Structures are given as C-alpha cells and as structure tokens.
Amino acid sequence: MVSLFKEKSSAGVFRLITLSIFVHIRLFFLPSIVAVPDKSNLLYSLMASLQNMPSVFIALIYQALILIQALRLNYLLSNYRLFPNTNFTPAMCFVIFSALLPQWENVSAALIANLFIILLINMLVRLYNSQQPVKSVFNCGLTAGLCALVFPPGIAIVVFGLISVLILRPVKLNELFAYLTGAILPYYFLGSILFLIQGNLKQAVTYLPASNLHWLVPSDKTYFLIAGIAILLCVILGFAYLQNYFGKLVISARKQWIILVLLFVLLALTIPFVKDKDWTSAWFVVIPTASAVAANLFYYSKRKIAVALLFWLLIIACLFNNFDGMSLLRSLTPQKPQIEIKKNTQKHPPNAKKL
C-alpha cells in the first residue's frame, strides 16, 4: 500500500482522497464539531458562526482543508527537491497523523493556523534563491505574525521564522528589520482599528499570547499517548533515514530540512507552556513538519514488510482512538463480581460488674 504513494502518478491524488475518507470515517457516524476558541481569539466570530452549520457541511470543510494542506505540503517538498523524486508520502503521513486523535478531526484554530505554517514554509524554502530578499523576508515576517495572531500558541512561529532567515541568508540588518516589521504589522493594524472604534487599547491586549507555565494534562491520556508515541516514533525513524541520505542532497535542501526539523522541535517545546482553551487540539500544528520528516521513513526504507506493517498499525491506531477503543475493550473484558462484606456493627454489651 505504501508503494502506491511512492509513485509519481496522477492517481496519487485519488488514492490520497480515498485514504482521507477512510481514516476520517468517524465524521460519517458522529457529528462534526467546530472547536470555538476563547473570545480573545481573532477567529472566535468565524468559528461561532460555523458552529450552527449542518454537520455534513462542517465535515466537508474539514476534509477540504486537510486535503489542501496535505497536497500543498507535498508539492513544496517535491518541487524544491527535498526528495529525489516526486512522491505522495508526505501527504500520506499528513492525512494519517491528522486522524490519530478525535480532537484533531474538528474544525479548529489550529487547523486554520496550519495554512499559515505551510505558507511560511513555502516562503522560507524559496528564500534561499530569492532575487528580492528584503521583500521575501518581510512577507515571511507578515505570515508569521498573522499565524501568531489567529493562533496564540503560534508565537513560536515568529521566533522560528527569524532563526530560519538567519540560517538561509547572510546576516543583514535591513532584512532583520524587514522581518520584525512584518511580524509586528498585524498587531499594529489590529490595535489601530480597535483604538479607532473603542478609543483605548484594553481589548487589543487580550489578543496577545498568554503564558501558562505548567504542564496541562490531556483529558484522554491513553489516546493522547498512542498518538504522541506513534508520531514521535515515525519522526525519529524518518530523521534517521534522512541522516543517511543527507550527504546526497544539495546545500539548499540541507538547510531547508534543518529549518523543518527546527520548527517541529520549537512547536513541540512551546505548546505545553502556552495558555489555550483546547490544549489537545493545539498540538495539531506540529503535523506539517512531523509529516515532512516522517515521510523519509516511508520513502527511503527498503524494508517493505516492516513499512507496510507500520502503515497498517497507524491505520488501526486511528480507528481505535476515534471510535473509543478503550471503552470497547472494557465492555468485552469480563468483570469480576464484587462481593460486599458487611461489617458487624452490633455493639457488645459492657461486662457485668462483679458483686
């Protein structure tokens, strides 16, 4: 099955759509949900209006966004020669990873933020050979600022973009100034509009990211661990295969892989400490970079049986988590009868006094 996604064929898009429908089959049995963020989020009004839409319409929006993001990520990785040949393994990983948790199958702010993250990755990949570097750097900063504005945990994207510019380009003060100007510009325009409407900047402060310096515990620990271990295992193995073929890549491709791995690490370390209403859904922003790195495992590995087994284990994990497999296992497990032991509460009469 994995070999079908390694082929350069127009049928790969059809296979990807079929895979997405299968792993997200939960959307056809259970109602789709729109994860409405806090009122301090810029997407609150949009998400609140989508919440009243029919469930089928929400499911179609979700499927469309997932496929658009998967294909766009796949296109930029193949087009800029991060892989030797065009293939659909990055898109395959993106679709499978997006179905590993029920909270990731909702229309959420993290799903919208991924559009900006993939767009930023595309801009950074093109930055290496850009003829107008100042303009390109400014656009990178603007995209990173918009991502942080619509999704507060994405504040790490601003830091990542700055580090990526320093990796891809020689250090120039005018380019650094252009990047910082672009990153601040969304907040500047938002503050200006709110000041003109309300006459103060009190509400503008609520749109700034708030820190929450303690580890939040997910509601579904088992499913979260299954998804986390599955993605982390694929990323580690994919990184190992990438290291083996790293020397065969051109210098620009090496730098681009470095910034992809860096983005994955930054997001994974930042999200636990950023205040967010739906903390589990916020982890969805690591999917693009995790899919890109994990795709090396499925593309370069010559152990077809092991890769096929891992592929089907991921599919089973998706179905197990989405259909509450733990509850099903508990219902099938015979329960031991509980024997109640009644305590003798009768008080003994006091000893009679001797005459």
Between 177 and 5, residue with greater pLDDT: 177
Distances (CA, A) of 74 to 12, 45, 58, 175, 293: 11, 31, 24, 29, 12
Q: Are 307 and 296 in contact (CB under 8 A)?
A: no
Q: Work out the pLDDT band at 69, boundaries 50, 70, 90.
A: very high
Alpha-helix residue ranges (DSSP H) falling in 128-250: 133-150, 155-168, 173-198, 202-206, 221-245
At residue 355, the pLDDT reads 38
Q: Would you say residue 177 has pLDDT above 70?
A: yes
At residue 353, the pLDDT reads 47
At residue 240, the pLDDT reads 92
Between 307 and 152, residue with greater pLDDT: 307
- Roughly what angle, to the nearest 10 degrees, separates helices 251-270 and 155-168? 160
The whole-number average pLDDT for the span 323-349 is 62
The whole-number average pLDDT for the span 109-127 is 89
At residue 196, the pLDDT reads 80
The whole-number average pLDDT for the span 142-147 is 90
Q: Is residue 207 helix, strand or coil? A: coil
At residue 354, the pLDDT reads 46
Strand partners, 34: 107
DSSP conformation class of 170: -
Q: Would you say residue 211 has pLDDT above 60?
A: no
The whole-number average pLDDT for the span 181-199 is 82
Alpha-helix residue ranges (DSSP H) falling in 6-88: 11-23, 44-50, 55-79
- Roughly what angle, to the nearest 10 degrees, separates helices 304-322 and 221-245? 160
Q: Would you say residue 216 has pLDDT above 80?
A: no
The amino acid that residue 190 corresponds to is: L
Q: Work out the pLDDT band at 289, boundaries 50, 70, 90.
A: very high
Strand partners, 180: none
Q: What phi, psi does 34 have (nearest 5°)?
A: -105, 115
Which helix (H) or strand (E) element contains residue 93? helix 89-97
Q: Would you say residue 171 has pLDDT above 60?
A: yes
The whole-number average pLDDT for the span 341-349 is 52
Mean pLDDT of the chain: 82
Q: Would you say residue 344 has pLDDT above 50?
A: yes
At residue 172, the pLDDT reads 83
